[in-house]
């Protein structure tokens, strides 16, 4: 199928789709250098936060160690519908719960990793500060800049509460 200028629209659409798929696969391969070691520390900002769907699904209360809540600078939070994504933006920050996985808990961390990396995210290592203690962990960053509005306060749980209040009114 051609547009008025003789350009093949079908192939342009296919190339774009292929480009996104290719991009995600490359990001997945780049990110999926297994997180090895005695422990894995993750900064979780969305549905993996305490009380939310994926936190309950993976039973993170029992199968990881909660280290605290922190703000991670340099990332903006976006709503992608039922879950959020973050993307690097200077001057923004996101609220994240920091969890440590060790021993048998590493299997849960690997399951989360698999879910996130195949879901269009990649790992970025970040410096975290919890109660004046500095630790290094990683956060899952969306592969492409979302085309939705930034959630200014950077807190997914706060955003969900605001959304629920709006729906009630």
Instruction: Return the minimum-mean-pLDDT range out of 10-14, 32-36, 96-100, 116-120.
Output: 10-14
| DSSP one-letter string for the chain | -B-TTS-BHHHHHHHHHHHHHHHHHHHHHHH-S---SSEEEEEE-STTSTTSHHHHHTTHHHHSEEEEEEEEEEEEEEE-SSSEEEEEEEEEEEEEEEEEEEGGGHHHHHHHHHHHHHTTEEEEEEEEEETTEEEEEEEEEESS--SS-EETT--HHHHHHHHHHHHH-
The mean pLDDT of the chain is 84
- Residues of the chain with pLDDT > 90, as a percent, come to 75
pLDDT at 15 over 90: no
Domains identified in the chain and CATH numbers:
32-168 (3.10.490.10)
What is d(CA 30, CA 124) in angstroms, rounded to the nearest whole number?
11
Mean pLDDT in residue range 24-39: 55
Predicted confidence band of residue 74 (pLDDT cuts 50, 70, 90) = very high
What's the whole-model pTM score? 0.78
């Amino acid at each position: 199928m051609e547009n008025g200028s003789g350009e093949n629209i079908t192939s342009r659409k296919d190339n774009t789709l292929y480009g996104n798929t290719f991009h995600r696969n490359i990001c997945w391969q780049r990110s999926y250098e297994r997180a090895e070691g005695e422990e894995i520390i993750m900064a979780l900002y969305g549905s993996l936060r305490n009380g939310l769907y994926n936190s309950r699904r993976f039973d993170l209360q029992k199968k990881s160690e909660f280290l605290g809540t922190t703000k991670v600078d340099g990332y903006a939070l976006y709503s992608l519908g039922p879950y959020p994504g973050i993307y690097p933006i200077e001057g923004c920050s996101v609220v994240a719960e920091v969890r440590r996985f060790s021993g048998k808990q590493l299997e849960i961390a690997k399951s989360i990793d698999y879910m996130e990396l195949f879901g269009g995210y990649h790992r970025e290592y970040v410096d975290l500060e919890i109660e004046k203690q500095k630790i290094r962990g990683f956060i899952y960053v969306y592969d492409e800049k979302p085309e939705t509005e930034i959630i200014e306060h950077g807190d997914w749980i706060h955003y969900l509460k605001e959304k629920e209040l709006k729906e009630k009114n």
